[in-house]
Each structure stands twice: as C-alpha cells, then as structure tokens.
Amino acid sequence: MRHITWQEVQVEAERIANQWRGRVHTVYGIPQGGAPLAVMVANLLGAQLIEKPTIGMNTLVVDDLIDSGKTMERFFKDFRVDAAFRKSHSPKHFAPYAKCIDDWLSFPWEKNDGAPTDGIVRLLEYIGENPARDGLIDTPERVLKAMKEMTTGYDADIAKILSVSFDVDFDELVVVRNVPFNSLCEHHMLPFTGTATVGYIPVDRVVGLSKLARLVDAYAKRLQVQERMTKQIADAMLEHIKPLGCGVVVRGNHSCMSCRGINKTGEMVTSSLHGALRTDNSARAEFLALAGY
C-alpha cells in the first residue's frame, strides 16, 4: 500500500491549477476522493467550488485517482477533466499528466488509511446491511483475507514450479487425472470449482508429480475464465517442460450460472492440446481416453 501525503496532493493540485488557469471558472470534485482535491484546486485558481456540475459553466471536474476510467468517462464529454493520480492501465487521455503509481493508494482523508476493507463495508451498506452488527463486525477483514488466499496464483513463479525435474528414461504419456481446483469467475467474482487432467510426453526428463498439481493451482487461484485457465496451464507446460506434446482437460461447475441469472447447473468442459497430442491422432486419442473421454 502506498500512503499519499498532503504534500503530494498539494503538488498535484498545483500542477492541475497551472494547467487550467484562465480556462475554467468553476471546479467540481467527484465524491468522495475528488472533493478535497477540488477545494485545493479551486483555491489556487480563485475559481468557484460547485456541488453539481452544470453544462455551460466552464467547469473543471477533478478526482483523486483514475483507475478503470469508468467514473471519469461520465464527465469527459461535457466537461474539462483532470486527476491527481492514475495507474499505468488507466485511460491516459483523461489526465495525461497525472502522476502514475501502480499500487493500492491511500489518501490522507480516507478512513482506516484507505484500506480495502472500506469497500467491503460500503458494499454491505449498499445491500441494506448494518456492518456494525455482531455477525458482520469482522466480515470485511474475513472477506479480504479470503480474497488474498483465493488469489495467491498471482504470486506464483511458474518457471520455479516446473523447474524440478528428474533424469528418467520414459517416453510415454504421463497423466495426472482429476486434480481438484477452486477459482473465481472474473465476471462476477463468484467461485467455480472442478477438476483438471494434465498430461505430457516427456523428453529425457520428467517433472515432479506434485508440480503439475501446483501448476493447476497457480492459474486457478486468480480471477479467471475457464477457457483461459485451460490454455494457460497447457502453454506453461509447453514452454517450461518442453515435451513432445502436452494436454489439459478441465471440468468446471460455475456458481455464477447456478446461483444467479439463469439459475441452472451444468458442467463446462474445456481442453487445450499442443504438439503430438494435437497432431498425432493415436496420441490424442490415448490422452483423451485417460482423461475420461
């Protein structure tokens, strides 16, 4: 976490004021983080601070941070816009001179140092719950801990996982069937679970057995879609093991389909094949048979 100081905010406020001096008459701060910045910019410009932007008032709309850009996009067409900070993935045209920092930012005016738990508290309030009641007091911390645990794949070193291999004279299929996994759908952040079957034809060396299960976890424990996860596992095997062929079959059940929307269950099956397992019909058939097809 990167703690932004008042001095850093002041520097960015001065930068924004210098950029827009003589070009705007009013300043509006996007709630909540944009409000303190708007006060500082308006004072530096000698401009009027307004509570609601109105077309035709020559208004500058400011925010503390541009992340995805969705919030700023609402104002971009009708107003001048700027921000103090942005991320490297943020749309640059909204605030091309904003300071770029790729980290979780906390601002001086935020409660609890702008901890991610603030967002969980606001979500509980949004659905009509009372975050202060007995059963929910520690829920934000629990949710945050669970999310970190379920997304440890982002920290996985794939090359290191697959670096453990042994000099074994074996040139037939090696298959690990039905490796359980738990993942999170990136569209709704709801779990999808299932099994992955991975196999490869080694060249000179075989990889440690548990490493294939760790490889599945490395890609499952992220915000995912099953199709991408299947391909990532197969691509990693091809790159790091360098086999004659490799393949992955994933079966998954998605709660984003079973507990919302259509409310139906159904197993999704995806596969990804490389090398001999893709081009040699007999090798392909043998792998798919061992995978349960």
Higher-confidence position of 178 and 31: 178
Q: Which of 224, 240, 246, 254 is catalytic?
A: 254
Contacts of 220 (CB under 8 A, 6+ apart): 153, 181, 182, 183, 196, 229
Question: Tens of pLDDT along 206-231?
Answer: 999 999 999 999 999 999 999 999 99
The three-class DSSP label of residue 191 is: strand
Active site residue 93: no
Active site residue 246: no
Q: What confidence tier does 43 reach under pLDDT thresholds 50, 70, 90?
A: very high
Question: Tens of pLDDT along 171-204?
Answer: 999 999 999 999 999 999 999 999 999 999 999 9
Q: Which of 3, 10, 129, 188 is catalytic?
A: 188
Active site residue 226: yes
Q: What confidence tier does 112 reach under pLDDT thresholds 50, 70, 90?
A: low
Q: What confidence tier does 114 reach under pLDDT thresholds 50, 70, 90?
A: low
Active site residue 254: yes
Q: What confidence tier does 118 reach under pLDDT thresholds 50, 70, 90?
A: confident
Active site residue 256: yes
Is pTM beyond 0.75? Reply is no
Q: Which of 224, 226, 232, 246 is catalytic?
A: 226
Q: What confidence tier does 111 reach under pLDDT thresholds 50, 70, 90?
A: low
Q: Which of 12, 185, 246, 274 is catalytic?
A: 185
Say what the pLDDT of residue 104 is. Answer: 82
Q: Which of 187, 227, 239, 259 is catalytic?
A: 187
* For residue 113, pLDDT beyond 70: no
Active site residue 259: no
Contacts of 59 (CB under 8 A, 6+ apart): 24, 25, 26, 27, 28, 50, 53, 79, 80
Active site residue 187: yes
Q: Which of 14, 125, 141, 186 is catalytic?
A: 186
Contacts of 22 (CB under 8 A, 6+ apart): none
Q: Which of 8, 100, 129, 256 is catalytic?
A: 256
Amino acid code (one letter) for 204: D
Q: What is the mean pLDDT of the chain?
A: 94
Question: H/E element holding 220?
Answer: helix 209-220
| Closest by Cα among 271, 136, 249 to 195 | 249
